[in-house]
Amino acid sequence: MAKKIVIVEDDIDQRNNYIDAISKKGYQVRGFSSRTEALLGFDSELPDLVILDIILGDEVDAGFELCRDLLARSPNLPVIFLTERIAEIDKISGLRLGAWDYLPKPISLDYLSEKISSLLRIHEARNLAAQGTAEAKIVGDMSIDQDALLVSWKNHPINLSGTEFRMLAKLVRVPGHAVSYDTLMNATMQSLVTNNTINTHMRNIRKKFETIDPDFKCIKSEYGFGYRWSTQ
């Protein structure tokens, strides 16, 4: 059965272009133009992946509000922000909400389609992992599954965004070795990433581990260089 994609975009031409391009890849695609319209659609059925613009009509943060609502209903639902709002604070806000990716407009329709395929493969791998059919790497008290982008600490799952997971994976590739800001920036797979962005992501990752284990201290800052994973 074809995967179901929803696009929430108030510009009718852009919305139709996205729908046409993604439909040609074999997906079932629906489009909504406003937060209210999208919420009514989600009440009847949740899709397999959602693409959100942030500004919808007169609502400047409508996409953020939709993301919050969607993830309250389905915490593992892949959500992509696709927007002209590319300020660092907006990217950080979107990722903190739990979005899987944050893409700037304009965007290649082929690239968007490949991004959707990639995230759906990750989502499928996570489902397999939940059924106990995937393999994970063990680093001390942490289990990390590269295919499913799943992490657990002392047998408790840690809910990381895709960006946070990729950064953590770089950090634990060789435990004890310092990883530079440049390497961590590359791991985000985003443009215009600053040291500040990396620091924010690392603080968020630490907090998620500390929620499970208040004594967690494996992520060490290497002043002026980057970070290091230290076994406890």
Tell whether 27 and 122 lie within a shared domain: yes
Q: Are residues 205 and 168 in contact, defined by beta-carbon separation less than 8 angstroms?
A: yes
Domain boundary among 62, 96, 126: 126
Tell whether 117 and 18 lie within a shared domain: yes
Tell whether 55 and 80 lie within a shared domain: yes
DSSP state of 91: H
CATH of the domain at 88: 3.40.50.2300
Q: Are residues 154 and 213 in contact, defined by beta-carbon separation less than 8 angstroms?
A: yes
How many domains does the chain fold into?
2
Domain boundary among 98, 126, 154: 126
Domain boundary among 72, 104, 126: 126
Cα–Cα distance measured from residue 188 to residue 211, given in angstroms and rounded to the nearest whole number: 23
Tell whether 153 and 96 lie within a shared domain: no
Q: Is the dihedral of CA 88, 92, 93, 98 positive or negative?
A: positive
Match 């009440």 to its residue by tokens.
43
Per-residue pLDDT of the chain (232 residues; tens, 9 = 90+): 889 999 999 999 999 999 999 999 999 999 999 999 999 999 999 999 999 999 999 999 999 999 999 999 998 899 999 999 988 888 888 888 888 888 999 999 999 998 899 888 888 877 766 665 456 788 889 999 877 778 889 988 888 877 888 899 999 988 899 999 999 998 887 767 889 989 989 999 999 999 999 999 999 999 999 999 997 5
Rounded to two decimals, the pTM is 0.67
Residue environment code for 183-203, b if the CB has 16+ CB neighbours within 10 A, otherwise e: bbbebbebeebeeebbebbbe
Whole domain around residue 159: which residue ranges?
135-229
Tell whether 212 and 120 lie within a shared domain: no
Tell whether 99 and 165 lie within a shared domain: no
